[in-house]
Amino acid sequence: MLADIKPPFIPEGASGMTVLVEWPPGHPGTPPHRHSGPCFGYVIEGAVRFELEGEPERVIKAGEPLWEPGGDVIHYQNGNALSDAPTKFVVVMLSAPGRPMLTLVDEEELEKRAHLRAPRPSAG
């Protein structure tokens, strides 16, 4: 058992998509975004820099699971935490009918919700 999670919701009539994500060394990942339903994943190789709204940034390493609740929560980071090696992870996303699996968040919304983001690690 790698994870036992009860998601806060599953959209009625949800469709599922399984995606293999491969980032080269140092790749920043997808810009801030959200999903219309929960997502579950597993890091196959490397390490993922992972940050959800309201949670501190963390690194999820090969062999570890990841998940996010979807809905209104912003997913700030999912990039490669390694500068010298690729990272690969698989993710299963559940999406509300007629809605995209992933929606980018614009700068205006990021500014409005800045108070919900966990403090950033200091650069030093």
Residue type, 109: E
> Identity (one letter) of the amino acid at 68?
E
SS3 content of the chain, % helix, strand, coil (to 5): 5, 40, 55
Q: In this model, does residue 124 exceed pLDDT 80?
A: no
Q: Is the predicted pLDDT of residue 117 greater than 60, yes or no?
A: yes
Residues 36, 95: contact at Cβ < 8 Å?
yes
CA 108-113-117 angle, 5° bins: 125
Given its phi and psi angles, is residue 109 left (phi above 0), alpha (psi -120 to 50 degrees) or beta?
Answer: alpha
Q: What is the pLDDT of residue 58?
A: 95
Give tens-digit pLDDT for 2-52.
999 998 888 889 999 999 999 999 999 999 999 999 999 999 999 999 999
Q: Over 80: is that where the pLDDT of 111 sits?
A: yes
Q: In this predicted model, what pLDDT tens digit does every residue of 68-88 receive, in sequence order?
A: 999 999 999 999 999 999 999
How confident is the model over 88-100, as pLDDT tens digits? 999 999 998 888 8
Least reliable range by pLDDT among 7-11, 51-55, 58-62, 105-109: 7-11
Residue 120 banded pLDDT, cuts 50, 70, 90: confident
pLDDT of residue 123: 56
